[in-house]
Amino acid sequence: MEIDKPQNIDGIAQLDEAGPSGAAAAAGAAKRAKGVVDGKAAPWVEKYRPKTLDDVAAHSEIIDTIRRLTSENRLPHLLLYGPPGTGKTSTILAVARQIYGKALQNMTLELNASDERGIDVVRQQIQDFASTRSVFSNTFKLVILDECDAMTKDAQFALRRVIEKYTRNTRFCLICNYVIKIIPALQSRCTRFRFPPLAPEHVRVRLEHVVQQEGVNMGPGGLDALITLGAGDMRRSLNILQSAHMAFDCVDGDAVYLCTGNPMPRDIEAVVNWLLNEEFNDAFQRILQLQVDKGVALVDVVRELHPWLFNIEALPTDVRITLCEKLADIEHRLAYGTNERLQLGSLVAAFSLARDGIAAAAQ
């Protein structure tokens, strides 16, 4: 086995203090180890990324389990999976800072498997890092493979053997969105944790913290719109908040929807009213004019109509089922680039037929 030069884990990140360039490099390394992002114009996603496990929003059971394993020095290989923006990468980076401190840069190897996903990376870069260890430290190294569901099958099979061979001095953390794309042989070698979408109350607490720190002028409905459009994705909510803050003096509900290009709730409410009460031609022309005036895509209208079907209590079950099927067909056809006017006609026709079903059920 290859042996690195003798090094102390407490002093791994210390650089020579000869000259100003050495001091600047040491300061930069220290900031990276602490998770500090330079510049006032830095993306808020990185600026407010959790630095410790206590800062991670939600997932208290997972955090407590990982904290206990870390404190007992029994951290296994990990497989963190779930939707984007739910804290997977932030959690393992916080664990790495807790374990290594200033030696973070030397004791961890972080790769984005979407870019570097070939078998050569596993055989060279990962294996070279995993095969070495520090002489004066009993601490294991950590290999973080982000978005590893994009890795080729050959690379995953090669990684299986590397994990087995270097378990004594290296731990692997695989992060992905779709666990089904990870081969069973890798899944069986890791302890799996699923990160579900964040609950609205946790997103609200974090957004309020960022708003207070940045001095954002929030208006009525602003936070609710951010939580709704984020859909449990903290990264998306923060990006929308920063964009709206840069574009508008007051971040209210309208500003958030205008910034993202999503149709406003009152516009969708008007569309539902037209579809259920207006004649075919009138409803068609009104929705078409709304698309022109507001710049709304039909696929967004169809997507926002779906929750409304479950909020209308007077809608018979068979009519609701038929409309859900029709909306799914229209969205599928729009995804393949079909003519929007034709699909708009199909949408209005589906609701016209649904009105007949509602009238028949009422008699």
Q: What is the pLDDT of residue 343?
A: 94
pLDDT above 80 (res 26): no
- DSSP state letter for 128: H
In the chain, residues under CATH classification 1.10.8.60 are 200-260
CATH of domain 265-362: 1.20.272.10
As a whole number of angstroms, the distance between CA 246 and CA 306 comes to: 31
What proportion of the chain, given as a percentage, has pLDDT over 90? 45
Mean pLDDT of the chain: 84
Burial of 123 (0-12, 13-18, 19+ CB in 10 A): middle
**20 has pLDDT over 50:** no
Please state, in angstroms and rounded to a whole number, the distance separating the CA atoms of residues 134 and 342. Answer: 66
pLDDT digit string, tens, across residues 272-292 = 999 988 999 999 999 999 999
Q: What is the pTM of this model?
A: 0.78
Residues carrying CATH 3.40.50.300, the chain: 9-194
Mean pLDDT of 179-188: 92
Above 50 in pLDDT, residue 33?
Answer: no
Work out the average pLDDT over 178-195: 93
Residue with the bigger pLDDT between 271 and 38: it is 271
For the stretch 71-110, pLDDT in tens is 888 889 999 999 999 999 999 999 999 888 888 888 888 8
For every residue of 162-175, DSSP letters joined together read HHHHTTTTEEEEEE
Enumerate the β-bridge partners of residue 79: 174, 192
- For domain 200-260, the question of CATH label 3.40.50.720 is answered with no
Q: If pLDDT is split at 50, 70 and 90, which confidence band does 9 have?
A: very low
Q: What band does 152 get if pLDDT is binned at 50, 70 and 90?
A: confident
323 Cβ partners below 8 Å, 6+ apart? 309, 315, 350, 351, 354
Q: Please report which confidence band the pLDDT of residue 19 belongs to, taking 50, 70 and 90 as the band edges.
A: very low
Residues of the chain with CATH 1.20.272.10: 265-362
Mean pLDDT over 19-44 rounds to: 51
CATH of 9-194, one of 1.10.10.60, 3.40.50.300, 3.10.20.90, 2.60.60.20: 3.40.50.300
Give me the mean pLDDT over the 119-141 stretch: 78
Quote the pLDDT of residue 196.
93
